[in-house]
Structure 1
Amino acid sequence: MRYILACLLLSFVCYGAEPSAFERQSGATKKDLSSLQGTAQSLLNLTTQIQQQQETLKQSQEGLMSLYESQHQKLQSTIAQSTTNTQEIENLKSEIAALKTLLEQQSTQIATLDSKMQELHTLTIKTQENILQELEKLSAQSTKGAQKQESKQSQKPQFDKSKSPELFAQAKELIKKKHYKSAKDIMLWLKDNKYNTPETTFYLGEIAYLQKDYHLAIKYYKASVALSDKGAYMPTLLLHTALCFKGIKDMANYNSFLEALIAAYPQSKEAAQAKELKQ
């Protein structure tokens, strides 16, 4: 029997734990923040492209200026050497005028790029400010959530420790009457105060099972078996664990727990139920 229950514990361990509700963030806020960060990155990429274009234009302008100066010197030299070659002089003048026009056009383009760079810089700063604002909102939400959690914890009901047996019996009656919240409050308090921990943990699993919170029920059942596998409630625990796995459509574990129940407690009424379920 101990071997079978050890196998069950391993099966429980393989069953992954879920993240707590406190660790979750607002999906909409995260999406907004991701969108803002994507926009900022796009702006930075565009700024880099414009800077590259501007550098290329400046290099081209430097080349044209050098050519302009060379042609201008050639013109002066030609004029000095001969005043009769009028056609050559006119051609050089035309080339120099064309170069001057091209330089002026490139200067205009560079000025336009400078203006765009300034606009992008302003927009990037604004986007970064929006990201910071969203981060501040997330931080405020986390702080508010922590405060709420602390407030809930401080509002836990308190009971007389000397009356733990009576409280335990009262909680079981409340479960029968379907007063699950009141029963859970008592069982949690008993568990926190180390009263009959394996069985109180089992009953916390029962409350979750009856409320169809199958993941939570499996978690409590696993914890109960880890503390002790000797309780009279073990057949019920195995049967309800199987039904929890069926509830979350894990049929492999469902069948495994039915078989374990039949093998470990063949004479129990729960084993009889398990056989009917298997048929």
Structure 2
Amino acid sequence: MKKILLMVALIGATSFTFAEEVSVFEAGNIASDNPYGLTENEQVLLANKKRVDNIQATLKTHEEDIVGLRSVLEGSNSQISKLESRVSDLEIRTTGKVSKLADKSASTVTSEDIAGLKKDIQELKAQIAVINQKLGTQGVKKNENLVQKSDEKVVQAKKTTTKTQEKSSQTQTKKPAKKVVAFDDMKKEDIIQDAQDLFNKKEFSKAKVNYDYLASKNYKPAFTNFMLGEISYNQKSYSSAITSYQKSIKHKDDATYMPTLLSHTAISLEKIGDKSSADKFYSVLKSKYPNSAEAKAIKK
């Protein structure tokens, strides 16, 4: 069976569009709007990413609030300055008029005038007190402290994300690095045979090291990626299994293990909650390999 025929059948039988196919195989992508099928490390990275985004959104809101408060503060300060100037002027005038009372010949100020001026001063001071209260200067300080704490949380969250990424990278690269040196002195046929023996013994982690090396050398990429998918499938790392199966089918779609690949892809999709995509793979399996054990095992 030709590759192009199977791809056409996949598209025709299951109504796959290009966008749908990409969606099926995007499990584990934390950059997606709705990521799914994440590994433990990917879940940590996603949680940190969301925390950073939330803190930055909160920080932006507080910054906007502070800008508004500062604008009110500047306007109120100007008003207070004018009121205080009036108070000062009235106090000077009052003091001057009181002193002039000593010189009765020069004074025309009555006791009512003095009382009125004092009343004006008290009213202005009361207005200043009200404005100060409305400004909520303590609230301004509180928001500024909150912004500072938010900045610290952003920095800490980014540090945590970076450390997690570095740890994940080290975990993924540390073991293969030791094996590559030995593999360079071995024939690839021996490496793949050793990998198959390890897989049959269910020593999946050790087998994966061999297959990872062969995949990096592009040696039998269809079969190598299929076996990497099988290892991930057996280890219940379903999103990784789907990714490996996708790589395998791109290199060869008429291999003898195709029924297993389609079946395990469908099951993996079910495990990560994508029942709709899983049904499409089951449909292709039944239509193209109706007599296979995998097709017969599908529940109707």
- Correspondence for 1:271: 295
Find out whether 1:100 has 2:121 as its counterpart.
yes
Higher RCO, Cα 8 Å, sep 6+ = 2
Report if aligned partners of 1:44, 1:124 keep a CA contact under 8 Å in 2: no
- Tell me the SS of whatever aligns to 2:236: coil
Q: Which of these residues, 22, 40, 59, is aligned with residue 37 of structure 1?
A: 59
**1:105 & 1:250 partners in 2: Cα distance?**
68
Name whichever of 47-56 and 34-43 sits farther off. Answer: 34-43
The structural deviation recorded for 1:167 is 1.7
The yes-or-no answer on 1:199 pairing with 2:223 is: yes
Contact 1:187 1:203 in 2 (8 A): yes
Distance 1:40 1:246, change over 3 A: closer
Partner of 2:33: none
- AA aligned opposite 1:19: N
Per-residue displacement from partner, 1:99-120 (whole Å, max 9, x unpaired)?
3344556677889999x58x93
Structure 1: gaps (5+ residues): none
Structure 1 residues 222, 34: CA separation in 2 closer, same or farther (over 3 Å shift)?
same
- Of 250, 256, 278, which residue of structure 2 is paired with 1:254? 278
One-letter amino acid of the structure 2 residue matched with residue 92 of structure 1:
D
Aligned counterpart in structure 1 of residue 144 of structure 2, from 82, 102, 124: 124
Q: Is the 8 A contact 1:54 1:110 kept in 2?
A: no
168 and 271 in structure 1: CA distance in 2 versus 1, 3 angstrom threshold: same
Give the alignment's TM-score, normalised by structure 2: 0.68
Q: Is the 8 A contact 2:226 2:261 kept in 1?
A: yes
Instruction: Give the one of 220, 223, 240 matched to 2:247.
Output: 223
2:59 counterpart letter in structure 1: Q
Larger radius of gyration: 1
Task: Give the aligned length.
Answer: 270
Alignment of 1:167-246 (within 5 A): 167-246=191-270
CA separation of 1:257 and 1:124: change in aligned 2, threshold 3 A? closer
Query: Is the partner of 1:24 in helix, strand or coil?
Result: helix
Q: Shift in Å at residue 213 of structure 1?
A: 1.7
2:110 maps to 89
Shift, 1:196, TM fit: 0.6
Matching residue of 1:19: 29
Question: Any idea what the Cα deviations from partners look like across 1:80-132, whole Å, max 9, x if unmatched?
Answer: 9x9897xx722212112223344556677889999x58x939x837963x555
1:196-231 deviation line (CA, Å, top 9, x unaligned)? 111110111111111222222111111111121122
2:9 pairs with one of 4, 8, 18: 4
**Closer/same/farther in 2, CA of residues 89 and 109 from structure 1, 3 Å limit:** same
Shift of 1:254: 2.4
Q: Which structure carries more helix by proportion?
A: 1
- Are the structure 2 counterparts of residues 13 and 151 from structure 1 closer, same or farther at C-alpha, using a change threshold of 3 Å? closer
Q: Distance in 2 between matches of 1:247 and 1:63?
A: 77
**1:33 to 1:187, Cα distance in 2 relative to 1, 3 A:** same
Is the contact between residue 246 and residue 254 of structure 1 (CA under 8 Å) also seen in structure 2?
A: yes
Q: Do the aligned partners of residues 120 and 205 (structure 1) sit closer, same or farther apart at CA in structure 2, a change above 3 Å counting?
A: same
Instruction: Flag structure 2 segments of 5+ consecutive residues without an equivalent.
Output: 31-40
Question: Which of 79, 90, 94 in structure 2 is aligned with 1:56?
Answer: 79
CA distance in 1, matches of 2:201, 2:241: 19
